[in-house]
Amino acid sequence: MVNWEYSESIESQDIVSIKDKYQNFVNGKFQQPNSKKYIDTISPSSEEFLSKIVISNEKDVDTAVQSAQMGFEKWENTTPHERSKYLFKLARLIQERSREFAVLESLDGGKPIKESRDFDLPQVAANFFYFAGWADKIDLSWGAKSLKPYGVVGQIIPWNFPLLMLAWKVAPALATGNTVVLKPAETTSLTALLFADLCEQAGIPDGVVNIITGDGTTGSLIVNHKDINKIAFTGSTQVGKLIQKSLAGRDVGLTLELGGKAANIVYEDAAIDQAVEGVVNGIFFNQGHVCCAGSRLLLQESIHDEFITKLEKRMQTLRVGNPLDKNTDIGAVNSKEQLNKIQELVNEGVSDGGKIFQTECELPGNGFWFKPTLFTDVQPSYSIAREEIFGPVLTTLTFRTPQEAIEIANNTEYGLSAGIWTEKGSKILWTADRLEAGVVWANTFNKFDPASPFGGYKESGFGREGGRHGLLSYLKAES
């Protein structure tokens, strides 16, 4: 029997200096907000205090929007070539300071350093490089006269990929000549505030990037501000719907990237070991904290038992614990509220009749943790098969024919992504053609590239981020 115990290998925190308290970044500098309300931001893996962030009020939102309006006058008149240079500068600074960002992301958000260092940060830099490359080619691609930037864009992002979601939003907005007011999630604001530091370092003109912290009320104030020209939102379907209602009848652009319940379809002719690894990657390596997490495993009946045996064995080797330990596979859940939500849905899965398997790992005493969990004997009607869980919880369903796999996979109000596992190329194409999902991976999962558009079908939202489509989301027809 292989021993999976390793010695600890903890990433040092010394590289990061966290202030006791943060102000908003507006008009090119950190400024005293009007609001006197601050909240603590803690590390979800230890519950230790990290810093205080402001809950911005109406006046603060107004100040940020005004700053972005003034910034727009300058930014719009900067040459595309200049804008490109600024974005390249940001991309290079991110690379230079990536270790600092990765440690802070893991401390503040709970995700393993392996993920923040090897996935999030390289992707963040890649997005800035990619859109920097586009900034001076937009005129050539679409014709200079036909499209123009929206102006001031309000960007509201969630806690699962704090800095990466910032990159997905800020880089294309700036490349197309817009200015931004960005609000990170209240539990994970620190890397966005460190990014503000980078904007100062890169000499981004004042008012072009404004970062204000706050809660849902602050988000809603941004959405409802009279001078906002576009909103780009990533988060829950519930809040996405509220935003859409608020903007009805207003001349404000909108893109929504919302929830998901991705299906990973494994056919009997798949390379089983590779598929087990891919399924583990699709749900557990990111703690299920992605809207595109492959949280529904669809197994062809004939391979069900063999697959589950191998999967459970692999799950037992997953290491849950300190996010700063380089050997950790699964870090902390982002907040107590999120942990409660996961627990509630898992309890419901058990009472509905699902068979639960959890690994034998020991969970740390402090912080918010959830064991890697697998459900079998699940009916498509159970809430664990329908609702987005956002935790390391995988639900298994079975099918007999490819047609049935498609029916089950599409039987959801979401449609963000899906995976297909088979050795037959023709089956990949047949299946992908019929799946209602924005992204379909074949014999792999969770692979991202800034050049590839990402976004949803149905209640997973609309609009695309990444690639040329992502640029178009920040441009509108010249009137």
Instruction: Provide the minimum distance between the beta carbon of 215 and ligand NDP in the complex, in angstroms, as a whole number.
Output: 4
Residue with tokens 């290491």: 319
Q: Tell me if 368 contacts ligand NDP by CB under 6 A.
A: no
Residue 230: strand pairing partners: 153, 253
- Any idea how long the chain is? 479
For residue 387, give every residue at least 6 positions away whose Cβ sits within 8 Å of its Cβ, in sequence order, or none: 261, 345
φ and ψ at 300, to 5 degrees?
Answer: -65, 135
Quick one: which of 45, 63, 106, 160 contacts ligand NDP (CB under 6 A)?
160
**In the complex, residue closest to ligand NDP by CB:** 219
Of 398 and 412, nearer to ligand NDP (C-beta) is 412
Spatial contact of 331 and 284, defined as CB atoms under 8 Å apart: no
Of 28 and 158, nearer to ligand NDP (C-beta) is 158
Distance, in Å, from the CA atom of 100 to the CA atom of 294, rounded to the nearest integer, reads 30
Number of residues that bind ligand NDP (CB under 6 A): 26
- Please indicate whether residue 257 is annotated as part of the active site: yes
Q: How many helices (H) and strands (E) does the chain have?
A: 17, 19
Distance, in Å, from the CA atom of 169 to the CA atom of 425, rounded to the nearest integer, reads 34
Quick one: which of 183, 225, 230, 427 contacts ligand NDP (CB under 6 A)?
183
Q: Got the DSSP string for 326-369?
A: TT-SB---S-HHHHHHHHHHHHHHHHHTPEEEE--PPPPSSS--
Residues 287-316 interacting with ligand NDP (rule: CB under 6 A): 291
Stretch that binds ligand NDP, among 4-12, 24-32, 78-86, 253-261 (CB under 6 A): 253-261
Instruction: Provide the minimum distance between the beta carbon of 464 and ligand NDP in the complex, in angstroms, as a whole number.
Output: 14
Quick one: which of 178, 234, 286, 295 contacts ligand NDP (CB under 6 A)?
234
Tell how strand 24-26 and strand 29-31 pair up.
Answer: antiparallel
Please tell me which residue in 11, 115, 199, 291 is annotated as part of the active site.
291
Spatial contact of 302 and 268, defined as CB atoms under 8 Å apart: yes
Q: Tell me if 465 contacts ligand NDP by CB under 6 A.
A: no
Of 346 and 406, nearer to ligand NDP (C-beta) is 346
Q: Tell me if 352 contacts ligand NDP by CB under 6 A.
A: no
Nearest-10 Cα torsion for 132, 138, 139, 141? 140
Spatial contact of 87 and 135, defined as CB atoms under 8 Å apart: yes
Q: Tell me if 216 contacts ligand NDP by CB under 6 A.
A: yes
Stretch that binds ligand NDP, among 88-96, 158-166, 204-212, 293-301 (CB under 6 A): 158-166
Stretch that binds ligand NDP, among 65-73, 166-174, 181-189, 316-324 (CB under 6 A): 181-189
Tell how strand 24-26 and strand 147-149 pair up.
Answer: unpaired
Instruction: Provide the minimum distance between the beta carbon of 219 and ligand NDP in the complex, in angstroms, as a whole number.
Output: 2
Residue with tokens 């014999």: 443
Instruction: Provide the minimum distance between the beta carbon of 165 and ligand NDP in the complex, in angstroms, as a whole number.
Output: 7
Quick one: which of 239, 315, 332, 420 contacts ligand NDP (CB under 6 A)?
239
Q: Tell me if 219 contacts ligand NDP by CB under 6 A.
A: yes
Of 259 and 278, nearer to ligand NDP (C-beta) is 259
Of 6 and 49, nearer to ligand NDP (C-beta) is 49
Q: Tell me if 406 contacts ligand NDP by CB under 6 A.
A: no
Nearest CA-CA partner of 264 in 308, 217, 313, 299: 299
Please tell me which residue in 257, 387, 459, 465 is annotated as part of the active site.
257
Quick one: which of 16, 54, 163, 185 contacts ligand NDP (CB under 6 A)?
185
Distance, in Å, from the CA atom of 261 to the CA atom of 416, rounded to the nearest integer, reads 7
Reduced DSSP (H G I as helix, E B as strand, rest coil) percent helix, strand, coil of the chain, to 5: 40, 20, 40
Q: Where are the alpha helices (DSSP H) in 331-466?
A: 336-352, 383-386, 402-410, 425-434
Catalytic annotation, residues: 257, 291
Binding site for ligand NDP (CB under 6 A): 156-160, 183, 185-186, 215-216, 219-220, 223, 234-236, 239, 242-243, 257-259, 291, 341, 388, 390
